Structure 1
Amino acid sequence: MAIKDDYIKIRVSKEQKALFKDIAKKKKISMSEFMIVATEERALREKEKFEGTKSLELRVSELEQKLQEIKLKMERSKADKKKFFKNFFLLMFTN
């Protein structure tokens, strides 16, 4: 277990304090331990969301880039086909 050598001071309403104290008592742990565990769990969930979103944004960006590359290849292919058929018809009908 990590050494607890720092503290965070927060202000809460009387109702919030009563709620936290009641839940901690029912769980048979100190109010501090309840607050630490609850806050850490929430922070880890938020961290997962943030990192997941960041990863998703990166994947979307990579996908967009690949789609642009495919689009360019398709446009080049279409242009090459038009050029081919134009040359083909010119050869066929100019002789």
Structure 2
Amino acid sequence: MRDVAGAATAGDPAARTVVRDAARRLGRVLVGLVSIFNPGIVVIGGAVDGLGHVLLAEIRAVVYRRSAPLTTGTMPIVLSDLAGRAGVVGAARPTSECVFAVD
């Protein structure tokens, strides 16, 4: 992943094509999920270091073009700001809710 991201950000056309194709595929999956769940926001996370904005632009284009305007009119699609910490934050939340539960 890091090699592809490095090549894509360096301008390698083959790497950029791979990234855009992956983003289009992900966007098509998100269209279905957005149509079913009607979320207020979509957060893209995971190992997208270095190619997040290229990936994000393509995902947004697919989702906004293929989804109903009422579904996506005010719905942002953003990158997660929890790079490398999502697992820890995800594990801490239910733990803190259990420990600090107010009855």
- Is the structural similarity TM-score above 0.5? no
TM-score, normalising length: structure 1? 0.27
Identify the structure with the greater strand proportion: 2
Which has more radius of gyration?
1
Identify the structure with the greater helix proportion: 1
